Amino acid sequence: MLRKCRKAHAFIGVLCFAILMGASGCRERTSNIDNSNHTLVLGFAQLGAESSWRIGNTKSIIEAARDAGIQLMYTEAEQKQENQIKNIRSFIAYQVDIIAFAPIVETGWENVLQEAKEAGIPVILTDRKIEGNEDLYTCYIGSNFITEGEMAGEFLKKKFYYTKDEINIVELVGTLGSSPAEERSKGFRQSISDDEKFRIIESVCGDFMQSKGKEAMGKILKNHDNIDVLYCHNDSMALGAIAAIEEAGLVPGKDIVIISIDGEQEAIDALKAGRINCVIECSPMLGPKIMDTAKRIMNGEQVHKAIYIEDRVFTEWDDLSDLPPRGY
């Protein structure tokens, strides 16, 4: 049902976009949303729907735009950078007021963002960052991925504080070249680097997808019989890995300590059941902050270059009985 709803949202967004393009051609933009004859138009280029986190993120953006009275032009790139670049160029051609997008990878955006700059259209990065000229975008809104990796490492050090034996860690990495994958690895390694007993014995890409997480973990288990810890860059891969661990006859959360990032409901349920040991929150509910920031930018206000969302840590030692439903 979620997949059907997600496809419906994507289709409606693209259909409305096409109708507006055909009916009005180019439109005159304004830099002040207080103009009573103008509704702020925001073009949002989503990267895809690879996880419950991403579906929750899209829902947050659609609902926040509606609540803020912002006209949202939504597209979805199906995890392909070329599609996302094409979608951004379509927004530029339509002359939207502002563009926001979640970049699939860090590199390869210079040309299209230069085109947006030359067209006078501000750009907001959301959820993921890019490398290159910071003058090509107005701000970033999302989590601090290095901090998330550090929080995962801090849990691990606390978990094995009294252990002197070598701790063997395997890592399931997100999409190669993406800022969450790069920075979650960096933060984690920085955190555990001061204790020689922690050793990363293998790091494999699972592309933030549950199916690939299961496949990757299955191969890792065939290559290693001495795994103490699994560090996953997101919940979807962790849930896939849990299935592979159980199929191998091992007990997730006991035979292998599992640390994951995102905070999806299914991962929190697994944490409560003892099948995951630590979940680092990375909230997808960015919609309200994106819409508020878009309005401020269009009103000529200065905004911070990086606007970080505060994330929490949930562990096996916490009482989570009163934790509200996650919503994703």
What is the helix (H) or strand (E) element at residue 69, kind and residue range?
Answer: none
Are the CB atoms for 172 and 231 separated by under 8 Å? yes
Q: What is the pLDDT of residue 289?
A: 98
Q: List the 98-101 sheet strands across, edge first.
A: 71-76, 41-46, 98-101, 123-126, 139-142, 306-308
Q: Does the structure show a pLDDT above 90 at 133? A: no
Q: Does the structure show a pLDDT above 80 at 33? A: no
For 201, other C-beta atoms within 10 Å of its C-beta total 17
Are the CB atoms for 181 and 173 separated by under 8 Å? yes
- Residue pLDDT, tens place only, 90-123: 999 999 999 999 999 999 999 999 999 999 999 9
The rounded percent of the chain whose pLDDT value lies above 70 is 89
Which string of b and e fits 288-327 if b means at least 16 CB within 10 Å?
A: ebbbebbbebbeeeebeeebebebebbbbeeeeeeeeebe
Taking residues 11-33, report their average pLDDT.
41
Where along the chain do its domains lie?
2-143+284-310, 145-282
- Residue pLDDT, tens place only, 256-311: 999 999 999 999 999 999 999 999 999 999 999 999 999 999 999 999 999 999 99
For 228, other C-beta atoms within 10 Å of its C-beta total 20
State the pairing for strand pair 313-315/278-281.
antiparallel
Indicate the range of 24-33, 141-150, 222-231 predicted with least confidence. Answer: 24-33
Q: What is the pLDDT of residue 202?
A: 97
Q: What is the pTM of this model?
A: 0.86
Q: Does the structure show a pLDDT above 50 at 126? A: yes
Cα distances from 52 to residues 3, 18, 164, in angstroms, run 10, 27, 38
For residue 54, which amino acid is it? R
Q: What is the pLDDT of residue 34?
A: 46
Residue 80, token pair as written in the block: 């392909």
Taking residues 245-255, report their average pLDDT.
98
Q: Render 282-314 in DSSP notation, one character per residue.
A: -----HHHHHHHHHHHHTT----SEEEPP--EE
- Residue pLDDT, tens place only, 166-222: 999 999 999 999 999 999 999 999 999 999 999 999 999 999 999 999 999 999 999
Q: Does the structure show a pLDDT above 60 at 27? A: no
pLDDT-derived band at 59 (thresholds 50, 70, 90) equals very high
Q: Which residues, in sequence order, are CB contacts of 21 under 8 Å at separation 6+?
A: 90, 93, 94
Taking residues 29-51, report their average pLDDT.
75
Are the CB atoms for 86 and 92 separated by under 8 Å? no
Q: Report the length, in residues, of the chain.
A: 328
Cα–Cα dist 270/253, whole Å: 9
Please give the mean pLDDT across all residues of the chain: 90
Query: 44: closest CA among 229, 295, 290?
Result: 290
For 144, other C-beta atoms within 10 Å of its C-beta total 17
Q: Does the structure show a pLDDT above 50 at 253? A: yes
Q: Indicate if 145-282 has the same CATH topology as 2-143+284-310.
A: yes
Cα–Cα dist 181/233, whole Å: 7
Taking residues 60-81, report their average pLDDT.
97
The CATH T-level fold of domain 145-282 is: Rossmann fold (3.40.50)
Cα distances from 104 to residues 17, 107, 220, 297, in angstroms, run 22, 9, 26, 24
pLDDT-derived band at 37 (thresholds 50, 70, 90) equals low
Sign of dihedral through CA atoms 266, 268, 274, 276? Answer: positive
Q: Does the structure show a pLDDT above 70 at 137? A: yes
Which string of b and e fits 16-45 if b means at least 16 CB within 10 Å?
A: ebeebeeeeeeeebeeebeeeebebbbbbb
Are the CB atoms for 6 and 55 separated by under 8 Å? yes
The domain 2-143+284-310: what is its CATH number? 3.40.50.2300
Cα–Cα dist 241/152, whole Å: 17
Phi first, then psi, for residue 20 (nearest 5°) are -65, -40
